[in-house]
A and B are shown apart, each in its own frame.
Chain A
């Protein structure tokens, strides 16, 4: 992404967020809204400055530094979607059971090796099972840290 485009998006997003908070806070008592209002004004002014900077920029091809390393978007979206399903799953099924499924399937899918190979399948299964057992022993048995539980463990 070019720096110019990034500035434009960042500016618009900041103005939008500040405007949403501004509207939400319109009915607040002045004392409650003093600090947020100062921040909203700063974000709106800064957001417009970002938009202005982008529109006035002469260098149209200047890329952001981290853009050099392209992301595999299929994998990135897969982990986001899988994590959201995992979170919903643990609400209905239970943390440790969904964790076992998530770790096994997640590590198997994200692996660059031949996914159909026995080594990849067994490797992911052993990893999923091993980490789930360690998590269970650490957090449930030893530290007794609460985890989201439901029908199953």
Chain B
């Protein structure tokens, strides 16, 4: 193993591979930052190019694109309140308020450092804990997945503390919207409203672009401000944020990275679920919960460390079991197969140098990402100095490309506009855009696993046994209850404390 790791370092540090890594990171960050263009799309676009390369070089480049794209999603989430990838939804909760406060530099650098840390952690897990983690992933059946998503949805309760009822209603709306299309049980059309186009269902990305991006454009161009936020470039932000994070975010970074790596290994559960759960946990464990959502680095840190940690996690089942843990892992697996390399545990013995070179290159790519990202931040942050009249229309053009590119369908463009209007006007009556997005993202996974669990329960003759007796399910149920009930108890405790303080005064 150590020989292969050493060979991995040697292969990764070859100048041509370092150059490919940098190009991959730059391309990935740009693709990730563009709403609608996902990490999967970025990696898939580059796969044919890698066929002409040496397999090790090709994989190094694909790994760098993957890491760059997942981090890149945070850039647009922070600067224009539009998550570039679904896994950056939770980054908007604090990233955008930071931009409005004139702290875009701080938010961008926090996202960069947290992403690199999460990415490094996930890769180290992949390097040293692949076998036991792969075993854990096999213990996750439909009931466990169902409870994991319910745990993710419980974030809504703490996310919308100002109005939990409207937060829950927004989440239910998102879940209900996700049921449009073919049902996962019988495969019959559902809620098509007499229009056959609805059979294809509501695609997550156009809906999200609409909810976050188009709704934001209406706000931006209608606002009295000529610029998104007051922004002046500051010097030495990266080192200052690094020091601040080392001082105050150590536990948050570790917790978020662990959550990301664990969620990443579960096939079907990706950065979006990891970042949402991690944000919720970050808030729960913080002494000052009220600061989350107001624009603090802790919120950005939770979300970004987790979503980049899923990368290493998602590659574990792909490399060890031949089961891709995410769509990107599936594309990378396709690239391996095309090169005649069969993923599975034997890859570490039959193609050890290649497997370890790929893993080690991801360690190096995450370190390089800090350098590449901090250079790119200087350019991307300048978007805040462009007038909203220009930014607004440019975002609409990008939103259309992003929505159309998913399925080459004008229906998705119409969906994007519809959800833009829902997001804007819903926001004006206090509905929660983030909660609705969570519902749309998690809805299909919840229903699919609920249906499978019900079928298992039908065969076993007991719903209780299937849903409430598996150890992992029980842990997730307890965590969900804590997540839902703790804001209520803590809120009550806080108001009692305040009342006591007022009485004493």
**Could you tell me which A residues sit within 8 Å of B by CB distance?**
1, 3, 6-7, 9-10, 13-14, 17-18, 21, 24-25, 28-29, 31-36, 39-40, 42-43, 46-47, 49-50, 53, 64, 66, 69-73, 75-76, 78-80, 83-84, 86-87, 90-91, 95, 99, 102-103, 106-107, 110-112, 127, 131, 135, 139, 143-148
Contact bitstring B466-491, A, C-beta under 8 A = 1, else 0 = 00000000000000000000000000
Given A40-B176, A69-B224, A147-B405, 20 more contacts at CB 8 Å? A10-B166, A10-B429, A14-B169, A18-B176, A31-B451, A36-B179, A36-B190, A42-B172, A46-B168, A49-B165, A50-B169, A72-B224, A78-B221, A80-B218, A86-B400, A87-B414, A90-B400, A95-B400, A102-B397, A147-B404
CB-based contact B176/A79 at 8 Å: no
Which chain A residues border B408 with CB–CB below 8 Å? 146
Binds A, one of B8-16, B309-317, B384-392: B384-392
Across-interface contacts of B179 in A (CB, < 8 A): 21, 35-36, 39
Assess whether B459 is interfacial by the CB under 8 Å rule.
no
B193: interface (CB < 8 Å): yes
Stretch at the interface among B180-188, B229-237, B241-249, B372-380: B180-188
Contact A36 B221 (CB under 8 A): no
Q: How far is the CB of B437 from chain A (nearest CB, A)?
A: 16
Given known A-B contacts A43-B169, A79-B221, A24 and B191 have beta carbons under 8 A apart: yes
Q: Which residues of A contact B193 (CB under 8 A)?
A: 24
Is B430 a contact partner of A10 (Cβ separation < 8 A)?
yes
Considering the complex, which residues of chain B in the window 392-412 have a beta carbon less than 8 Å from any beta carbon of chain A?
A: 392-394, 396-398, 400-401, 404-405, 408, 410
Residue of B nearest to A43 (CB): B172
Closest to B214 in A: A83
> For the complex, is B223 an interface residue (Cβ under 8 Å from A)?
yes
CB-defined contacts of B226 to chain A, threshold 8 Å: 112
User: Which residue of B is nearest A39, CB measured?
Assistant: B176
- B451 / chain A contacts, CB cutoff of 8 Å: 31, 34-35
Shortest beta-carbon distance from A7 to chain B in Å: 7
Residues of chain A lying within 8 A (CB to CB) of residue B22:
none
Complex: chain A residue closest to B166, CB-CB: A10
Contact check: which of A36, A49, A99, A148 meets B191 at CB < 8 Å? A36
Interface size class of B (residues with CB under 8 A): 35 or more
B461 contacts partner chain A, Cβ-Cβ < 8 Å:
no
The complex places the Cα of A90 from the Cα of B404 at a distance, in Å, of 12
Query: For residue B398, which residue of chain A has the nearest CB?
Result: A135
Residue of A nearest to B389 (CB): A110
Please tell me if the beta carbons of B214 and A76 are within 8 angstroms of each other in the complex. Answer: no
Q: Which of B169, B186, B193, B226 has the most CB of A within 10 A?
A: B169
Greatest chain A CB density within 10 A among B41, B168, B388, B429 is at B429
Which residue of A14, A28, A39, A144 contacts B190 across the interface (Cβ within 8 Å)? A28
